[in-house]
Structure 1
């Protein structure tokens, strides 16, 4: 009976998407696992129709915390909720993020990822037959599983552009993983504002400007940490490490040009 219900749901979603039904919104939940420093996980949601998507990044929690490591909770960071919007008609990707308690709208061109679709492997994820593809994006090579049973060009985070919904992702370094754990559809009326950008954002900035802001924010945090340390234990001229190997985006396009 469970398999029959799954097949009915898959058929219903496929028919509605193929018919380009604007009244339906599909919601996919992903479990995200990151091993960038301390291992962490979250549950995030991807909402989409035929032309737009919104990925809401869930709150991360640290897994396998070493006994001798303590993390001070930052109430400001606890309230941060990152949202990623894709608009296919405008070929734009937007991100809402807080910097020093100010809300910014970060705008960038929709990334053009060159996907290798030559792989013959298949997998079954949430009842959908998936094909394998590989692509390189900002310093990482990703293996992804996508299904043509849901023929939209969306996926979690910033990864998209395949002839089907991306349901599973892993990078070749074993540091980044997205896995779809549930899928459902809803009437558009229930989430009528989900694709609307915040009307009270402080400023629209470019991706490059946002990276600079993030670096400055981390430098300020480092200064606060140093100021709280005993004088005899401080190290002079400490600066933020610009090496991004511990970040999900390790290399940006303007850095590759230099």
Structure 2
């Protein structure tokens, strides 16, 4: 009898993981704008795609100024490629662009030391989710995950909880917020989980961060120089407006 029950559990589990799940998140990209991110999971493979279309913020009704930060270029889609695992770190490959130049970057992301509070729950996209808190690259974050969706994954580079993350946000920021709008547990889309990015320059995460901050510093300097005399404005170099505030090699330098 016990063997029969175990076999049924294994068959159900195998069927669940053979199906493709699709989660669409609303991402608050900045205080002014939102965009969408689509997460796909099948057979231990994970692909998250952040849309290139900047949509009107549903909270403020405003449009972003950020579209023009890259000389008016339309932002391109960003891909985050990984696998499901229970390791202490996860290997991500992701794409991004700086000043019109396309990059393909490798990132080894440490597992967050999550603190779960099952007394704190909320409904997201029809699922009951439990609260978890942790620190991700220097930022205190709060997540809500669902145990009935048995995937240790989430949007962007988040993972490590005993269920799928349906909402995540920094504790002291009004942007870099992800919240699931819909969940399809039997998605039929044809997804390439290991896309080839042969036309993109391959660089390390450290090189990418340095190039990105050099570009932003030039933008801030240009904005500061355009401010009329008599008005005070101070912008610090290497300010990070993302959830990733401090990287592993920066901790090692102390």
TM-score range, shorter chain: 0.7 to 0.9
* Structure 1 residue 134, shift from structure 2 partner: 0.8
1:1-258 matched pairs, under 5 angstroms: 18-19=13-14, 23-34=18-29, 36=30, 38-58=31-51, 59-61=53-55, 63=57, 64=60, 73=68, 77-88=73-84, 91-175=90-174, 176-184=176-184, 185-187=186-188, 190-193=189-192, 195-221=193-219, 241-244=237-240, 246-258=241-253
Measure the CA separation in 2 of the matches of 1:160 and 1:17: 23
Cα separation, partners in 2 of 1:221 and 1:126, compared to 1, 3 Å: closer
Cα separation, partners in 2 of 1:17 and 1:209, compared to 1, 3 Å: farther
Contact 1:148 1:163 in 2 (8 A): yes
Measure the CA separation in 1 of the matches of 2:204 and 2:65: 35
- My pick for the range that moved more, 111-120 or 70-79, is 70-79
SS of aligned partner of 2:179:
strand
SS of aligned partner of 1:104:
strand
Where does the alignment leave 5 or more consecutive residues of structure 1 unmatched? 1-13
Aligned-residue CA RMSD in angstroms?
3.5
* Structure 1 residue 167, shift from structure 2 partner: 0.7
SS of aligned partner of 2:154:
coil
For normalisation by structure 1, the TM-score amounts to: 0.75
Contact 1:50 1:152 in 2 (8 A): no
Cα separation, partners in 2 of 1:116 and 1:70, compared to 1, 3 Å: closer
For normalisation by structure 2, the TM-score amounts to: 0.76
Measure the CA separation in 1 of the matches of 2:11 and 2:221: 53
* Structure 1 residue 86, shift from structure 2 partner: 1.5
* Structure 1 residue 179, shift from structure 2 partner: 1.1
Report how many aligned residue pairs link the two structures. Answer: 234
Q: Deviations over 1:39-58 (max 9, x none)?
A: 32112211112422111112
Measure the CA separation in 1 of the matches of 2:81 and 2:17: 17
Cα separation, partners in 2 of 1:117 and 1:205, compared to 1, 3 Å: same
* Structure 1 residue 172, shift from structure 2 partner: 1.2
* Structure 1 residue 23, shift from structure 2 partner: 4.8
